[in-house]
Amino acid sequence: RLNIKYSKTPRKLPTVLTKDEIKSLLSKIQNKKHLLMISLMYSAGLRVSELVNLRLKDFEFKNNFGYVRQGKGSKDRVFILSTKLKGEIIKYSEDNKLGNEDYIVKGYKNKHYSQRSVQEIVKRAAKKAKINKHVHCHTLRHSFATHLVEDGYDIATIQSLLGHSSSETTMIYIHMASPRLINVKSPLDSFD
């Protein structure tokens, strides 16, 4: 009996937005709370489930990071906190008198915000920004990872920020990065 191992079926490359498309999408969100949520999701590479479950106590403001508690696969991980957003999150939490145990974005009756609502905000903003790609919440996470690759960060760093157990999962973002931004030149260009 032959034991033939087949290679994995090729995965479709995820949809990724350029930095300009991200800027455009964010510029179309008028509601301050919504803008803060979507900006945080992109800037930290959070899954929508992770965003809505964040509590004030999960942030280490002095050190510019936070914790995702019990993310996918019931794992905790660290996420980076954008210095641009830090002040806004602190102000938002003070303005809304959030306690340590409170969700950063509260929904109805102080429960966490609904994932469905976050998905709608992203869809509407993408439509208003006239982005002709299939955009959903996870697109922001794919874009975050791809932009880190383009900015020169290594796969191990990106893998830990995304909470991937396998570097293979993270490698897909290398394929997504724009060759121009990662300074790859064709070997043909080195010919005289």
Whether the CB-CB separation of 128 and 45 falls below 8 Å is answered with no
Is there a catalytic annotation at residue 77?
Answer: no
Of the candidates 72, 86, 123, 124, the residue annotated as catalytic is 72
Phi and psi torsions of 123, nearest 5°: -60, -45
Of the candidates 77, 112, 141, 147, the residue annotated as catalytic is 141
Of the candidates 47, 77, 112, 142, the residue annotated as catalytic is 47
Of the candidates 55, 123, 124, 138, the residue annotated as catalytic is 138
Is there a catalytic annotation at residue 173?
Answer: yes
CA separation for the pair 49, 147 (Å, rounded): 22
Whether the CB-CB separation of 147 and 17 falls below 8 Å is answered with no
Is there a catalytic annotation at residue 164?
Answer: yes
Is there a catalytic annotation at residue 72?
Answer: yes
Of the candidates 42, 103, 113, 173, the residue annotated as catalytic is 173
Q: If we measure between CA atoms, which residue out of 56, 26, 58 comes closest to residue 41? A: 26
Burial label, 165 (beta-carbon count in 10 A; 0-12, 13-18, 19+): exposed
| Torsion of the alpha carbons at 157, 65, 180 and 139, rounded to the nearest 10 | 100
Of the candidates 34, 77, 147, 164, the residue annotated as catalytic is 164
Tokens of 42: 């992109």
**Residues belonging to the active site:** 47, 72, 138, 141, 164, 173
